Amino acid sequence: MKPVLYAADEAAFISNGIGVLADCISCEVSETLNGEYEMSIAYPVTGIWADDLEVGQVIKAKANDTDAPQLFQIYDIVRSLTDAITVKAEHISYRLCGVPVSRIMSQYGITNAINAIVNNAIIPLGFTIDTDITSNEWFATTNAESVRSLLGNEDHSLLTIYGGEYHFDNFDVHLLSARGANNGVTIRYGKNLTALEQDINGATYNGVFAYWYKADAGYVEATAPAESPGVHPVKCYQTLDLTSEWENPPTAAELYTRAQQIANGLGSPLETLDVSFVTLHQLEEYSNIAALEQVALGDYVTVIYDALGINRRMRVVKTVYNSITEMYESITLGTLQTTLADVINKAGESNGTSSGGVSYTLSISGSSITLVGSDGSTSVVNVPDQYAGSATSGGTAYKAASIPFGEVDNTSTATVFTATVPGITELKSGVCCMLQNGVVTSASGFTVNVNNLGAKPCYTNLAAATRDTTIFNSAYTMLFVYNEDLDDGAGGWIIYRGYDANTNTIGYQVRTNSSALPASDKFYRYRLLFTSADGTKYVPANTSTSTNATASRTTNTRPIDPFGEIKYYSTTTAVDAGSKPSATAIWQQYTLTLGYSFNTTGAALTMTADKPVYLRCAPQADGSAVMEYFTQALPSTADGKIYIYLGIAYSATAIELSYHHPVYYYNNSGIRLWTGA
């Protein structure tokens, strides 16, 4: 087929466009599995259309034996006075590099992920995207990116999360579980093989033996060599310096675990064959079995060349196609080469390492939180049982300095705390301390003066722009974090609620004493309230009029902000839609009967005391969530749901509402913190 030239704004590609490049010297299309897809043309300087060639124009030509003619957009033209004009063009699917996609909130499953990419595109795609993959991993982005990068160029692309192989067919993009087929094609010397080059690449190692060394910190070796999946007749291991991966000495076991991740990616030596051959399906004598002799990217073929001892069933991973003669110039069989450095980098990505901090694995057991860092360090934080939540792993945390515990002196009043805290010499954003108040605080708010550095107002962590008007009992322990931007730049403390040290339970008087939001729907007594998706209203758990906690209720399906405030309405007076509930009845922490908020059984609840309670929700594409029901168990497999921590079951029917509401989901073989992205 002779290539056909079209204007940049052509839409139909049916006619001969600007013209047929009949005098084209050569036209080759190179395509690599999940890689480049480009065209190179040599055109005479005196050719008919030489003066008409422009960057941005589109060329239609055959790109392989099986697809319809493909479209390629010109991106580079090199002209010469004597030599041929060289034209470079990329497959029309590269246009997707210029289609921005807004940030995508967490999507469950590949179908939802593809729909989100299409729906969040700033301009119409002009392409279809489909798949035969059914994976249910989560997908999200943190910022705007192009469609093409989300297909496969980023570490959070469709390709890296769900796997597969792309087939680009003009304006149709197919992400397939596997491209190609096994048609039994044989390429053999004496039959159709015209040239062959064999490349075997890969060190003949059975694995790696890792070590860590710093002159001022010591030397550590892995407990044993880490074996790779490849089998080699002679035991041979490559030494591997992993000093750069830990700031402090790792344990021998940690060193081995990391080395094994790297060794797993090594495998056997990689072999590729560059083959030139005659495409027999085009010859008359093979016309009756032409379909069986066609070769396409991703296909499996058998190559036989006795002189080199080659008899391999291998995969087509790259093709170079002559669009004019409609024959392959060459194909590459085997596995695209991967270096040891590539393997280490890939293993590093899967190990949870992130830029900007030390990566940690988080686990929670009872009243202990353990952080095991990629630098070998281990930190254990003990918290009250009510805060322990549920065991979780994964995610990324960062090493934090120890938080000093201060003493509130006997000059403190209900409105002014005076405290001494070791180590704090100046007030700047991020300075924090634990304080235990010695008196009942005032409902009108209070200030804290640490080390005589100045009395600063206190703000609630749940609404950091609002002065805290919560009443706290005496002996109440709280975390204070300083922020220079508060109080119009004068600075202030953000309070993170604590526990009543006298009873080791949540204090009853953790009340906001303000009601900034109106109700989204009319609601009645003893209801949990959630922040609406737009942050402007309180959404009640249900709108039932029943005065009985054992009555069955239908959960409110109005979308909520999964990271918004959760409050409790503690009285019996009904609140109309659009009205604000009484400020004195809105609580951040409280022991409450859960049946008024969630009860689908029509009977008394039967929770297990002292176990966490979660609200199961369905995440939405816009980052909001729809409430479903409460549960005391986190999932053991991916279910597409998120779980908001409500608090601890106080009894079979009541919970102690926490002020802290982390959100969990199941992904990558474990429970992880959900961030909405």
Last-in-domain residue among 464, 487, 509: 509
**381 pLDDT tier (thresholds 50, 70, 90):** very low
Q: Determine what percent of the chain is predicted with pLDDT higher than 70.
A: 69
pLDDT for the residue numbered 386? 30
User: CA–CA separation, 640 vs 620, rounded Å?
Assistant: 10
Phi then psi for residue 457, to 5 deg, are -70, 160
* pLDDT at 539 (0 to 100): 96
Q: What is the pLDDT of residue 511?
A: 63
**For residue 257, what pLDDT band results from cuts at 50, 70 and 90?**
confident
525 and 480: one domain? no
Domain boundary among 509, 536, 561: 509
The region of weakest confidence among 73-87, 181-195, 406-420, 476-490 is: 181-195
Statement: residue 450 has pLDDT above 60? yes
Same domain, 151 and 58: no
The Cβ of residue 366 has, within 10 Å, a number of other Cβ atoms equal to 10
Q: Read off the pLDDT band of 344 (50, 70, 90).
A: very low
Mean pLDDT of the region 223-236: 68
What pLDDT is attached to residue 626? 95
Average pLDDT over residues 128-147: 86
Are 282 and 406 part of one and the same domain? no
**pLDDT (0 to 100) of residue 442:** 66
Asked if residue 550 is part of any domain, the answer here is: yes
How many angstroms separate the CA atoms of 141 and 129, rounded?
18
Task: Give the tens place of pLDDT for each residue, 569-583.
Answer: 999 999 999 999 987
Least reliable range by pLDDT among 230-239, 388-397, 468-477: 388-397
Question: Mean pLDDT, to the nearest integer, of 612-621?
Answer: 91
Quick check: 513 pLDDT over 90? no
Residues 547 and 664 in one domain: yes
Rounded to whole angstroms, the Cα distance separating 141 from 406 reads 41
What does the alpha-carbon distance between residue 657 and residue 229 come to, in Å, rounded to a whole number?
A: 50
Q: What's the pLDDT band for 46 if we cut at 50, 70, 90?
A: confident
Domain that holds residue 34: 4-93
Are 467 and 531 contained in the same domain?
no
With 90 as the cut, is the pLDDT of residue 453 above it?
yes
Q: In the structure encoding, which two tokens stand for residue 535, read together?
A: 């942050």
Q: What is the pLDDT of residue 496?
A: 66
263-299 pLDDT, tens digit each: 775 554 444 555 554 454 444 443 443 343 466 787 7
Q: Is the pLDDT of residue 340 over 80?
A: no
Q: Name the range with the highest mean pLDDT among 144-158, 288-302, 514-528.
A: 514-528
**What pLDDT, on a 0 to 100 scale, did the predictor assign at position 233?**
53
How high is the pLDDT of residue 612?
85
* Number of domains the chain contains: 7
d(CA 496, CA 474): 16
Q: Please, which pLDDT band fits residue 180 given cuts at 50, 70 and 90?
A: confident
| 67-83 pLDDT per residue, tens | 999 999 999 998 877 77
Tell me, yes or no, whether 347 lies in a domain.
no
Residue 651 sits in the same domain as residue 525: yes
In a domain, 472, yes or no: yes
pLDDT top residue among 125 and 168: 168
Weakest-pLDDT range from 158-162, 280-284, 490-494: 280-284
pLDDT of 349 over the 50 cut: no
Q: How far apart are CA 235 and CA 226, in angstroms?
A: 12
> Does a structural domain hold residue 650?
yes
Read off the pLDDT band of 494 (50, 70, 90).
confident
Q: How confident is the model at residue 515 (pLDDT cuts 50, 70, 90)?
A: low
With 0-12 / 13-18 / 19 or more C-beta atoms within 10 angstroms meaning exposed / middle / buried, residue 119 is: exposed
The number of C-alpha atoms within 13 Å of 25 and in the hemisphere containing its C-beta is: 14
Query: pLDDT: is 189 or 31 the higher one?
Result: 31
Name which of 130-134, 239-243, 274-278, 419-423 the model is least confident about: 274-278
Strands (E), 415-553: 416-420, 432-436, 447-450, 455-460, 477-483, 492-496, 510-511, 527-531, 538-540
pLDDT for position 316: 79
Residues 134 and 159 reside in one and the same domain: yes
Kindly state whether residues 500 and 544 are assigned to the same domain. Answer: no
Q: Are 97 and 150 in contact (CB under 8 A)?
A: no
Average pLDDT, the chain: 76
Q: Is pLDDT above 50 for 198?
A: no
Pair (416, 468) in one structural domain: yes
**Which residue intervals of 31-120 are DSSP H helices?**
110-119
Q: What is the DSSP string of 237-273?
A: EEEEE-GGG-SSPPPHHHHHHHHHHHHHTT-SPEEEE
Does 339 reside within a domain?
A: no
pLDDT for the residue numbered 540: 96
393-408: average pLDDT: 45
Q: Tell me, yes or no, whether 143 lies in a domain.
A: yes
Q: Is residue 181 part of a domain?
A: no
Percent with pLDDT over 90 in the chain: 25
Lowest mean pLDDT among 51-60, 308-317, 413-422, 533-542: 308-317
Q: Which of 181-185, 361-365, 621-625, 651-655 has the lowest mean pLDDT?
A: 361-365
Decide if 344 is inside a domain: no
Choosing from 215, 234, 264, the residue where a domain stops is: 264
Q: Confidence band (pLDDT; 50, 70, 90) for 378?
A: low
What are the start-end ranges of the E strands in 442-526?
447-450, 455-460, 477-483, 492-496, 510-511
Shared domain for 303 and 260, answered yes or no, is no
Q: How far apart are CA 307 and CA 313, in angstroms?
A: 17
Same domain, 519 and 668: yes
Most confident of 94-108, 270-284, 323-337, 547-561: 547-561
pLDDT at 425: 87
pLDDT at 466: 57
Token output for 291: 């379909």
Q: Are residues 21 and 72 in the same domain?
A: yes
**CB of 210 closer than 8 Å to CB of 222:** yes
